[in-house]
Structure 1
Amino acid sequence: MVKIEQVTTSEINDIIPLFDGYRVFYKMKPDLDAARIFLQDRVTNNESVIFAAYEGKNAIGFVQLYFTFSSVSLEKSIILNDLYVAAEHRGKSVGQQLLLKSQEFCKINGYK
């Protein structure tokens, strides 16, 4: 069973290998230290919201949302920027569950 949880600074280490894998997928060089710093900065500075999918104690996917605004609608909004599921867990609705959690977060918090 997959459990979706919001990532705090305490859980950053859980998703670093996934985040690095996501970047490598887009042809970037692996860099676990830079990934750790980047993610910690985003969460610590409240610049993004990250949800992780867990199977047991292992993170198997994540989604990262960035805050922004819509000038047209005059509303605060969120951009879903990153979504990644480990290759061995694809096809199990993990991505769909992460999307639904993101949508729920937006509705609860009044984001467009």
Structure 2
Amino acid sequence: MTSDIRVNQAAIGELEELAAVFDQYRAFYGQPSDAGAARAFLFERFEHRDSILFAARDVRTEELVGFAQLYPVYSSISMARSLILNDLFVVPDARKRGIGQLLLDAALRYAKQTNAKGLELSTAVDNAAAQRLYERNGYVRDEGFYHYYLNARK
């Protein structure tokens, strides 16, 4: 039930809780658990103000049950700012309560408030639940561009 959930723009005072959930998120994507590195990574995002984090809390327990993280990017072609919805995660015990939708709503409100051109995201090809959520919200799968990646650490 979404009325039991509050979503707010996260502050550095929530770092410890966010790091714990962020570590779960990384494990969901097959990364080894590293709570210290998760904390350090999120601390840098706060310190450098290069991402926007939203935290979802159960209002009854005050437990952090999910988060979303946005990164600003810029398009030279359109000369406008967009946001990459890079991370969205709901803890397993809190799923199927509409929390993902609330986090998407918060990201869209933020995009509108900051006059961003739009929101971009990607998800694993086998994450059908996320794909259904995004498509229900009007996100359109990119069929016009191929996306490439080069590992600079090789």
Shorter-chain TM-score range: over 0.9
Matched, 1:75 2:74: no
- The one of 10, 15, 18 equivalent to 2:13 is 10
Residues 30-41 of structure 1 mapped to structure 2, 5 A cutoff: 30-41=33-44
Show structure 1 runs of 4+ deviating over 4 A.
Answer: none
Structure-2-length-normalised TM-score = 0.71
Structure 2 counterpart of 1:89 = 94
Matched, 1:47 2:65: no
Q: How many residues align?
A: 112
**What percent of counterpart residues are identical?**
37
State the alpha-carbon separation in 1 of the partners of residues 39 and 20 from structure 2: 9
Gaps of 5+ in 1: none
Larger Rg: 2
Structure 2 counterpart of 1:106 = 111
State the alpha-carbon separation in 1 of the partners of residues 103 and 80 from structure 2: 23
How far does the alpha carbon of each residue in 1:32-71 deviate from its partner, in whole angstroms, 9 at most, with x for none?
0000000010111011000010003110000000011012
State the alpha-carbon separation in 2 of the partners of residues 72 and 92 from structure 1: 39
